């Protein structure tokens, strides 16, 4: 075999390699271009459907905002303000933000609208998830701001709500404040949705923080991570009917009865733990179990409410209904213990309330604040 034959074979080998590289490059280019084309198509679909950029949260279409000229501006700012960072024990906390509708200080605490309270005013710390934080409402129309306005200058209300918090995270946040010397006169907890969602639906483990196992799980190989984030995967899920409704629902559906009881059992333990702290530190503790769209008993539902329910997983719906049935039996008629079931707070309200299956508009926040203030006053709180 002469050298010219070897040279020809080498040239042929590299020629094949070069052709394969060109083909791979072309395929990669097509995939990248296709990914962005799909993203552009989704953007256009959203824009045509709503008349707005994808940066505007679709919840601005809720009838709650029909007469609100600032609805688009608010929801645009809401998406801009959405940012958090890691914090020990509570796992995440809101980033500082300053805007027209939403203001969060350097400690991650959302603004409660109030005048400078006198030193003699009673400090009221309010804990909960995004419904307490005020998703769907500007600073002055959150539950804590309404409570502040209703109680007057004799109260000094602080909004320690945070998106997706379960009661265990709220308890840890309270422990941190107490350890730092911030002792309130009154503590209010507003829970139910996040404990029910995390405990009975995802991850379907009572007292487990929402999505924390996903955040802290081992990272996927880079190729799988790219695929999972691609617009191709989103398109596949759309046509395959995956996402909310899939194997996960089948897996956790049989566990709903026991997990529903587990959620409420865990909250009973939460109440006992907070009351022990209240005795030690000398504050009053109040516990309110919140409503959601699935617990609404009035009829008929509005078209938006029915559309919202129809867009959710039937397993999610049944899991939350099951949690609320257990909670209603367990927490009703316990106001003498400072425990209040508000799961049916909107049953007699005919005006639109919900912007999704658990968040409400400013009018809903005001109704909840009124119920809280009535309960606080009936149990002896008179800060005015």
pLDDT in tens, the chain (384 residues): 566 777 777 777 777 877 777 887 777 676 666 656 655 555 555 545 445 444 678 899 999 999 999 999 999 999 999 899 999 999 999 999 999 999 999 999 999 999 988 888 999 999 999 999 999 999 999 999 999 999 999 999 999 999 999 999 999 999 999 999 999 999 999 999 999 999 999 999 999 998 777 654 445 565 555 655 566 555 555 555 444 558 899 999 999 999 999 999 999 999 999 999 999 999 999 999 999 999 998 878 889 999 999 999 999 999 999 999 999 999 999 999 999 999 999 999 989 999 999 999 999 999 999 999 999 998 777 776
Tokens 């926040």 correspond to 365
Cis, peptide link before residue 357, omega less than 30° from 0: no
CATH code linked to domain 58-223+243-378: 3.40.50.1110
Q: Which pLDDT value is given to residue 178? A: 98
Q: Which pLDDT value is given to residue 253? A: 97
Residue 108 Ramachandran class (φ > 0 left, ψ -120 to 50 alpha, else beta): left
Q: Where are the domains of the chain?
A: 1-54, 58-223+243-378
Q: Which pLDDT value is given to residue 134? A: 98
Upper half-sphere CA count for residue 267 (Cβ side, 13 Å): 33
Judge contact between 79 and 56, C-beta under 8 A: yes
Contacts of residue 213, Cβ cutoff 8 Å, sequence gap at least 6: 203
Cis, peptide link before residue 63, omega less than 30° from 0: no
Q: Which pLDDT value is given to residue 226? A: 61
Q: Which pLDDT value is given to residue 31? A: 62
**Residue burial 357-368, b: 16+ Cβ < 10 Å; e: rest:** bbbbbbebbbbb
- Taking the C-alpha atoms of residue 301 and residue 17, their distance in angstroms, rounded to an integer, is 64
- Taking the C-alpha atoms of residue 96 and residue 310, their distance in angstroms, rounded to an integer, is 36
- Taking the C-alpha atoms of residue 269 and residue 351, their distance in angstroms, rounded to an integer, is 36
């Amino acid at each position: 075999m002469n050298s010219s034959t070897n040279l020809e074979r080498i040239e042929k080998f590299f020629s094949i390699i070069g052709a394969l590289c060109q083909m791979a490059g072309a395929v990669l280019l097509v995939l990248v271009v296709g990914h962005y084309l799909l993203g552009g198509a989704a953007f256009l679909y959203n824009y045509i459907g709503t008349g707005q950029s994808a940066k505007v949260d679709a919840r601005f279409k809720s009838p709650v905002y029909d007469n609100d000229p600032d609805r688009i501006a608010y929801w645009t700012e809401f998406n801009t303000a959405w940012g958090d960072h890691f914090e020990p024990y509570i796992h995440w906390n809101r980033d500082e933000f300053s805007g027209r509708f939403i203001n969060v200080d350097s400690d991650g605490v959302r603004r409660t609208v109030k005048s400078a309270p006198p030193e003699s005013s009673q400090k009221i710390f309010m804990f909960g998830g995004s419904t307490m934080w005020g998703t769907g409402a500007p600073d002055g129309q959150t539950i804590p701001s309404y409570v502040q306005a209703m109680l007057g200058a004799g109260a000094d209300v602080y909004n320690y709500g945070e998106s997706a918090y379960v009661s265990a995270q709220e308890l840890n946040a309270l422990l941190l404040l107490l350890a730092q010397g911030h002792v309130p006169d009154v503590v209010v907890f507003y829970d139910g949705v996040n404990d029910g969602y995390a405990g009975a639906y995802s991850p379907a483990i009572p007292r487990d923080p929402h999505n924390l196992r996903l955040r802290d799980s081992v990272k996927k190989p880079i190729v799988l991570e790219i695929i999972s984030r691609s617009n191709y995967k989103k398109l596949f899920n759309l046509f395959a009917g995956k996402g909310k409704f899939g194997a996960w629902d089948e897996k956790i559906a049989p566990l709903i009865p026991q997990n529903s009881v587990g959620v409420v059992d865990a909250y009973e333990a939460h109440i006992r733990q907070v009351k022990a702290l209240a005795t030690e530190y000398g504050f009053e503790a109040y516990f309110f179990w919140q409503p959601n769209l699935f617990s609404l008993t009035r009829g008929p539902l509005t078209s938006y409410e029915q559309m919202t329910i129809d867009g959710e997983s039937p397993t999610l719906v049944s899991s939350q209904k099951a949690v609320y049935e257990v909670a209603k039996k367990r927490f009703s008629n316990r106001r003498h213990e400072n425990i209040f079931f508000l799961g049916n707070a909107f049953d007699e309200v005919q005006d639109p309330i919900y912007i999704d299956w658990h968040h409400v508009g400013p009018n809903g926040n005001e109704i909840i604040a009124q119920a809280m203030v009535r309960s606080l006053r009936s149990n002896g709180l008179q800060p005015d």
